[in-house]
Every structure is written in C-alpha cells, then in structure tokens.
C-alpha cells in the first residue's frame, strides 16, 4: 500500500517551467497546463490541488504568521529573532501549510535549492547549504519545513520525514504522516501528540489522533488519508473504497476534514 511511486523523468522535466513561473510570481496552474501538453497526466490532480491550496491559503496566512505567535522550532517556542525577512519572497513550490518568508540573505539560495530539489538537479544540496549558512540557527527549522513540503512534489517520502523531523510543528506533522503510510503507527503517535496544541497543525494532529483511537478501521482510514495528502491520490483512492463502508460517520467526518477530496473517491 505504501510503495513509493517516483515521478517519471518527463514529468519531472515538465515541472521546471511551472516552478520558474511560480518563482517569478506567475500562475502555476496555467504554466503546468501548458507544460504538460502531450505528457503523462497522472500527477496533474495532486499538483493542481497543491497549487490551489497555496493560492487560497498561503499568502494571507503567511502575512499573519508572525503576528500570530512567537517563532516555534523543534525545541519549542522561543522569542522571534530580530531579523529582516524577504518581504517580496515568492514561493517556488506549493505549500500545504503556510510558512514565514526566509531571511533576505537566505531567500535566493533557498529558492534555487527548492527548484533544484523538484527538478532533480544534482546541485541543489549546495544551494541548500548556502541557505542554511545564511539563516540564524533558531530559524533553520523553518527551512526544513520548506524542504519537507517541496519533497512532497517528487514523492520523496524519506526526505519528507527526515527534513520534517528537523522542522517546526509543521514538519513534525508531515513526518508523522509518512510514518503512517509506512505502517509505523507507534512512531507517528508521539509526533502527532507533540504538535496537537500547535495553532497551525494542532487541529489536524488532533483529527489524526481521534482516528487512530478508533481501532483497525480508524487506523486504516488515517493511513489512506495521509497517503492522499502526501500526493499519492491513486493508491489512496484504491484503498479508501475498501475501508469507507466500515467507517462510521465520525470517522468519515474526520477524514474529510483532513482531506475533503478523499470522499470523492470513497463513493463509487
């Protein structure tokens, strides 16, 4: 169920132009539609969904981010460092959860690193190191959140998990989702519990915990929900149809609150 499905090289190449367009402030959906003409279409739905999520949630939420809470990283809440942010930062990849902009010094390196990660460039780790070096240590978990979310586009579950664990609560939740789809519930539970009070991802973590408390059916539904949210809609839809009839209304509600699109493939 959790077999990682790599993006084929043709589709990976097709992502390059949309990412460049996004970084320049353009329309990701339009550029992707143009780039994929005549190419495989199996990845269109998750990418379009991610792009829509950013357009709806990303920029306004990001503007409100620092007014909402002190900086949070893997070690807990600390006072936000006094440092200039890249006010004109444009996301080079879609983000499922909002994230504060990088520092002015780190922004160009981070942009190049995330573009390179998605495009499969061999040079992106060097750009990533420069982004880290240009970022004060207390802010580095935010960069790992971005790497974790960028890795969703290329279905690199190991990178999602490992970068997420070095991130803020956003990254921890993504790492927990990877543990779920890897059938490692015992590893996912502590991560969900550690972020359940976080104002950004806490509500989603609480939904997962409530599902996991409902036995075999709840655990199975939480696994396919995480798989759907991590971009493997095809496999998730194949399995949710088997679980959905056994789930009660509360479980179905929790799953659709986490992923509204899941219900459309649960009903024949």
What was the pLDDT predicted at 132? 94
pLDDT of 142 > 60? The answer is yes
pLDDT band at 167; cut points 50, 70, 90: very high
Choose one of 97, 122, 156: the last residue of a domain: 156
Residue (of 121, 123, 167, 129) closest to 148 by Cα position: 167
Looking at the structure, do residues 35 and 121 belong to the same domain, yes or no? yes
Looking at the structure, do residues 152 and 172 belong to the same domain, yes or no? no
Looking at the structure, do residues 33 and 105 belong to the same domain, yes or no? yes
Say if residue 215 is exposed, middle or buried (CB neighbours under 10 Å; 0-12, 13-18, 19+): exposed
pLDDT of 266 > 80? The answer is no
pLDDT band at 28; cut points 50, 70, 90: low
Looking at the structure, do residues 262 and 151 belong to the same domain, yes or no? no
Looking at the structure, do residues 59 and 149 belong to the same domain, yes or no? yes
Looking at the structure, do residues 107 and 185 belong to the same domain, yes or no? no
Looking at the structure, do residues 143 and 202 belong to the same domain, yes or no? no
What was the pLDDT predicted at 57? 36
Residue 80 lies in a domain: no
Give the least confident one: 24-28, 95-99, 106-110, 229-233: 24-28
What was the pLDDT predicted at 12? 60
Residue 75 lies in a domain: no
Q: Cβ atoms within 10 A of the Cβ of 226, count?
A: 26
* Distance of alpha carbon 82 from alpha carbon 165, whole angstroms: 25
Residue 198 lies in a domain: yes
Q: Cβ atoms within 10 A of the Cβ of 3, count?
A: 7
What was the pLDDT predicted at 165? 95
Choose one of 156, 185, 211: the last residue of a domain: 156
Residue 252 lies in a domain: yes
Contact 218, 167 (CB under 8 A): no
Looking at the structure, do residues 202 and 268 belong to the same domain, yes or no? yes
Q: How many domains does the chain have?
A: 2
Residue 161 lies in a domain: no
Both tokens of 213, joined, read: 């408390």
* Distance of alpha carbon 196 from alpha carbon 176, whole angstroms: 12
**Model confidence pLDDT, tens digit, residues 62-98:** 333 333 333 333 333 334 445 788 877 777 777 888 8
pLDDT of 127 > 60? The answer is yes
Residue 201 lies in a domain: yes
Q: Across 4-13, 93-102, 139-148, which has the greatest mean pLDDT?
A: 139-148
Segment 170-184 mean pLDDT: 95
Residue (of 238, 249, 235, 240) closest to 220 by Cα position: 240
- DSSP-H helix ranges across 213-260: 215-229, 233-243, 249-258
E-strand ranges in the chain read 72-73, 76-77
Q: What count of residues does the chain have?
A: 268
Looking at the structure, do residues 112 and 1 belong to the same domain, yes or no? yes
Say if residue 10 is exposed, middle or buried (CB neighbours under 10 Å; 0-12, 13-18, 19+): exposed
- Sorted by sequence, the CB contacts under 8 Å of residue 184 that are 6+ apart come out as none
Segment 174-190 mean pLDDT: 95
Residue 105 lies in a domain: yes
Rounded to a whole number of angstroms, the distance between the first and last alpha carbons of the chain is: 20
Choose one of 128, 156, 184: the last residue of a domain: 156
Exposure of 227 in the CB half-sphere (CA atoms within 13 A): 24
What percent of the chain clears pLDDT 70, i.e. is strictly above it?
68
pLDDT of 235 > 50? The answer is yes
Segment 20-44 mean pLDDT: 56
Segment 112-141 mean pLDDT: 92
Segment 177-192 mean pLDDT: 95
Residue 146 lies in a domain: yes
Structural domain boundaries, residue 243: 168-268
- Supply the Cα-derived Rg of the chain in whole angstroms: 18
Looking at the structure, do residues 189 and 243 belong to the same domain, yes or no? yes
Looking at the structure, do residues 176 and 148 belong to the same domain, yes or no? no
Looking at the structure, do residues 18 and 102 belong to the same domain, yes or no? yes
């Amino acid at each position: 169920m959790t077999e990682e499905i790599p993006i084929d090289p043709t589709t990976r190449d097709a992502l390059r132009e949309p990412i460049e367009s996004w970084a320049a402030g353009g329309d990701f959906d339009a550029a992707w539609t143009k780039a994929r003409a005549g190419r495989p279409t199996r990845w269109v739905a998750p990418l379009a969904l991610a792009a829509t999520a950013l357009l709806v949630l990303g920029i306004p939420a990001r503007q409100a981010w620092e007014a909402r809470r002190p900086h949070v990283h893997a070690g807990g809440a600390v006072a936000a460092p006094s440092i200039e942010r890249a006010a004109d930062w444009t996301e080079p990849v879609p983000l499922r959860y909002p994230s504060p902009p990088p520092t002015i010094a780190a922004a160009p390196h981070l942009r190049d690193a995330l573009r390179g990660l998605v495009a499969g460039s061999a040079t992106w780790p060097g750009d990533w190191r420069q982004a880290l070096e240009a970022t004060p240590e207390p802010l580095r978990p935010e960069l790992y959140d971005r790497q974790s979310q960028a890795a969703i586009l290329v279905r690199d579950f190991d990178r999602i998990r490992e970068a997420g664990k070095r991130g803020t609560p956003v990254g921890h939740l993504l790492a927990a989702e990877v543990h779920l789809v890897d059938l490692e519930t015992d590893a996912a539970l502590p991560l969900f519990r550690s972020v359940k009070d976080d104002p950004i991802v806490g509500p989603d973590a609480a939904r997962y915990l409530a599902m996991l408390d409902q036995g075999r059916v709840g655990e199975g539904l939480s696994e396919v929900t995480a798989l759907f949210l991590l971009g493997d809609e095809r496999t998730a839809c194949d399995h949710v149809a088997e679980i959905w009839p056994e789930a009660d209304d509360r479980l179905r509600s929790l799953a659709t609150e986490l992923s509204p699109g899941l219900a459309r493939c649960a009903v024949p």
